[in-house]
Amino acid sequence: MITVHNLTHDYEGKGNASVKDVSFQIPEGTIFGFLGPSGAGKSTTQALMTGLLRIQQGQVLYDGTPIQKQHQDFYNQIGMSFEHPNLYGKLTGLENLTYFAGLFSGGTADPRALLDAVGLTDAAHKRTSAYSKGMKQRLVFARALVNNPRILFLDEPTSGLDPATAERIKQIIRDKRDEGCTVFLTTHNMQIADDLCDTVAFLYDGAIVAMDAPRNLKLQYGEKSLVVEYRQDPTRAAKSSGDQASGDQASGDQASGDQASGDQAEGSGREPSTDPSSHTPAVQREVLFPQNPADTRRVAELLGSGLIETMHSQEASLEQIFIKLTGRGLS
Ligand SMILES: Nc1ncnc2c1ncn2[C@@H]1O[C@H](COP(=O)(O)OP(=O)(O)OP(=O)(O)O)[C@@H](O)[C@H]1O
Ligand SMILES: [Mg+2]
């Protein structure tokens, strides 16, 4: 169990703390996602938890023992990947991993197997100065696994990776968790957090604003919506096209209406919309919120019209909930 207790950190000591009274616990064998926009204090928290930054205020405990009292062996048990890949550019990928493995006193993983797992077999003998950003990222991730860590700290492990490679990395993280590894993962990416994490904490301006399982956050803060696609009533369509002074005007309104419906999960306006990706102008799309009586009436009206093509319920995303709680997005 990792316990972080009232952690506060002020780099310059001028009363503008980058981490403010942050507390959480991470049970063994779980993935904890630390989410927040740039500058929220994620990497600072990771640095405090791993002893890279000296703790000013608060505590970080591993199975009840403060990090300051951990023995050197502690570092044999943790794996870390940093947001900025720090590799030896003159060494190949394989040499980097082999060198790093030599720094640990316990058993280590086979560097070739790790390269294979992250899809770098073909680049094993290439100097890392010639690696692309994503390749460096994967090598840093593989390096975090080299000492078969019991605890993994991963700072943006999938940023800049193509979807297939990101999926591969995500699966390795899940496998590690299933083997009993405890994972602290920092990211801007809500989808990754949703896919991977047992618990997520939203960090905003150095402080935790919400923390729970993704599902519970959605149940607590997210508003479910119904997405209804329906054929336009031909008689009304003809009338409305006659009514419109300009077709462009109509499509412009519909596009912005769609934006508004995206906002509805955060509780703002409720306007019908047309899916701009749809090439069939006669098909309309509306996002409706069953909690809203007017929307409930609209659902009944649409059901009665017999024009519905598809209808499905949609959960709020973690990103929408983050915006609802903080008033801003993650990028
Ligand atoms: N070495 C430092 N000296 C002074 N201030 C720092 C230092 N490192 C970070 N900060 C400040 O602390 C705050 C939190 O930074 P941190 O790197 O922890 O954010 P982050 O959430 O990891 O952001 P990102 O998503 O961009 O990586 C920022 O305001 C940053 O400017
Ligand atoms: Mg960071």
| Radius of gyration of the chain, Cα coordinates, nearest whole angstrom | 25
Sign for the pseudo-dihedral over CA of 126, 129, 133, 136: positive
Q: Which atom of ligand 1 is closest in space to residue 44's alpha carbon?
A: 18
Q: What's the pLDDT at 295?
A: 85
Which residue's CA is minimally distant from atom 2 of ligand 1? 11
Ligand nearest to the CA of 39: 1
- State whether residue 252 is helix, strand or coil: helix
* pLDDT at residue 145 is higher than 90: yes
Average pLDDT over residues 146-173: 91
Whole-number Å distance, alpha carbon 40 to ligand 1 midpoint, is 7
Which residue's CA is minimally distant from atom 29 of ligand 1? 39
Q: 31-68: per-residue pLDDT in tens?
A: 999 999 889 999 999 999 999 999 999 999 999 999 99
Q: What's the pLDDT at 258?
A: 35
Average pLDDT over residues 211-227: 87
* pLDDT at residue 331 is higher than 50: yes
Q: Ligand 1 pocket test: which of 43, 204, 330 has the largest number of ligand atoms within 8 Å of its C-beta?
A: 43
Name the more confident of 206 and 221. Answer: 206
Which residue's CA is minimally distant from atom 8 of ligand 1? 44
Residue 196's CB is within 10 A of a number of other CB atoms, namely 24
Structure tokens at 7: 């952690």
Whole-number Å distance, alpha carbon 18 to ligand 1 midpoint, is 7
Name the more confident of 79 and 253. Answer: 79
Please calculate the CA angle 134-139-145 and round it to the nearest 5 degrees. Answer: 135
The Cα 270–Cα 294 span in angstroms is: 10
Name the more confident of 86 and 195. Answer: 195
* pLDDT at residue 250 is higher than 60: no
Q: What's the pLDDT at 236?
A: 59
Q: What's the pLDDT at 77?
A: 92
Strands 308-314 and 283-288: unpaired
Average pLDDT over residues 142-165: 91
Whole-number Å distance, alpha carbon 53 to ligand 1 midpoint, is 12
On the CB side of 247, CA atoms within 13 Å amount to 4
Q: Which atom of ligand 1 is closest in space to residue 12's alpha carbon?
A: 4
Name the more confident of 290 and 272. Answer: 290
Average pLDDT over residues 109-131: 96
Residues with CB under 5 A from ligand 2 (ion): 42-43, 83
Q: Which atom of ligand 1 is closest in space to residue 37's alpha carbon?
A: 25
Q: What's the pLDDT at 234?
A: 64
Average pLDDT over residues 188-195: 88
Q: What's the pLDDT at 283?
A: 86
Please calculate the CA angle 208-213-219 and round it to the nearest 5 degrees. Answer: 100
Q: Which atom of ligand 1 is closest in space to residue 188's alpha carbon?
A: 25
The single residue listed with the structure tokens 């193509």 is: 162
Q: 293-323: per-residue pLDDT in tens?
A: 888 899 899 999 888 999 988 878 888 888 8
Whole-number Å distance, alpha carbon 45 to ligand 1 midpoint, is 9
For the chain, how many residues are written? 331
Ligand nearest to the CA of 41: 1
Q: What's the pLDDT at 275?
A: 46
* pLDDT at residue 130 is higher than 60: yes
Alpha helix ranges (H) inside the chain: 42-49, 74-77, 93-101, 111-117, 133-144, 163-178, 190-196, 214-221, 234-243, 247-264, 293-305, 318-326
Whole-number Å distance, alpha carbon 232 to ligand 2 midpoint, is 48
Whole-number Å distance, alpha carbon 331 to ligand 2 midpoint, is 12
- State whether residue 174 is helix, strand or coil: helix
- State whether residue 295 is helix, strand or coil: helix
For residue 330, what are the CA distances in angstroms to 191, 275, 318?
Answer: 12, 25, 10
Q: Long-range contacts: 53-57, Cβ < 8 Å, 24+?
A: 53/9, 55/7, 55/9, 56/8, 56/9, 56/10, 57/6, 57/7, 57/8, 57/9
For the chain, domain boundaries:
2-221, 225-314
Ranges 159-163, 199-203, 261-265: which has the least confidence: 261-265
Q: What's the pLDDT at 269?
A: 34
Structure tokens at 11: 């780099």
Strands 182-187 and 199-204: unpaired
Tell me the DSSP string of 140-156: HHHHHTTT--SEEEEES
Q: Long-range contacts: 281-286, Cβ < 8 Å, 24+?
A: 281/232, 282/231, 282/232, 282/234, 282/237, 283/229, 283/230, 283/231, 283/232, 283/309, 284/229, 284/230, 284/231, 284/232, 285/227, 285/228, 285/229, 285/258, 286/227, 286/228, 286/230, 286/261
Average pLDDT over residues 237-256: 39
Q: Ligand 1 pocket test: which of 7, 42, 322, 330 has the largest number of ligand atoms within 8 Å of its C-beta?
A: 42
Give every CB contact of residue 57 below 8 A, 6+ residues apart in sequence: 6, 7, 8, 9
Whole-number Å distance, alpha carbon 241 to ligand 1 midpoint, is 54
* pLDDT at residue 287 is higher than 90: no
Tell me the backbone φ, ψ of residue 83, rounded to 5 degrees.
-70, -30
Whole-number Å distance, alpha carbon 187 to ligand 2 midpoint, is 8
Name the more confident of 201 and 238. Answer: 201
CATH number of this structure's domain 2-221, picked from the four choices 3.30.2350.10, 3.40.50.20, 3.30.470.20, 3.40.50.300: 3.40.50.300
The Cα 311–Cα 294 span in angstroms is: 18
Pocket of ligand 1, beta carbon within 6 A:
11-12, 18, 36, 38-44, 83, 188
